[in-house]
Amino acid sequence: MDDEKRAALRERIEAAEARQAAREREDSSAQATDRLTAVARNHPLLLIAGGLAIGIALSTLVPRSPTRKLSKNAIGFLATIAELGIAYGRQAMEAAEEARHDGLARLGKLRGAAPNEDEQPEDVPAIAEE
């Protein structure tokens, strides 16, 4: 073989090797994507926890901003709303307890006897059946 043919053959071999290396890089990136997708599907909570950890770590690096101050105010507002909801729930429970006692009193009047203070809601069906 003369030098020209050898050079042409060497160039073709090098081009083929470059194409093969590019294919292998594409295959390895596709495999990495597939592995990441599989991990995300098999362990979604781990992925969420990792995202939160990264977000918290990045937030410590960022200086305080007006949105961070706003979020503190929003958290305080939501805590106040939660306390009001708890207070409203307690009032509703007290009103339900009073309604239960009133209902037992009315049921006792219908029976012709005064209701006992220690009657429980479980006693009501027994009284109604008599």
Instruction: Quickly list DSSP for 60-105.
Output: HHSPP-HHHHHHHHHHHHHHHHHHHHHHHHHHHHHHHHHHHHHHHH
Q: What are phi and psi of 15, to 5 degrees?
A: -65, -40
Indicate the average pLDDT of the chain. Answer: 78
pLDDT over 50 at 111, yes or no? yes
Mean pLDDT of 88-93: 86
Q: What is the pTM of this model?
A: 0.33
pLDDT at residue 129, as a whole number: 44
Mean pLDDT of 68-92: 83
Q: Measure the CA–CA gap between 64 and 40, rounded to whole angstroms.
A: 32
Extents of the domains making up the chain: 1-62, 64-130
Q: What are phi and psi of 63, to 5 degrees?
A: -65, 160
Mean pLDDT of 111-127: 55
- Percentage of the chain exceeding pLDDT 90: 2
Mean pLDDT of 38-52: 83
Copy the structure tokens of residue 36: 């990441």
pLDDT over 70 at 93, yes or no? yes
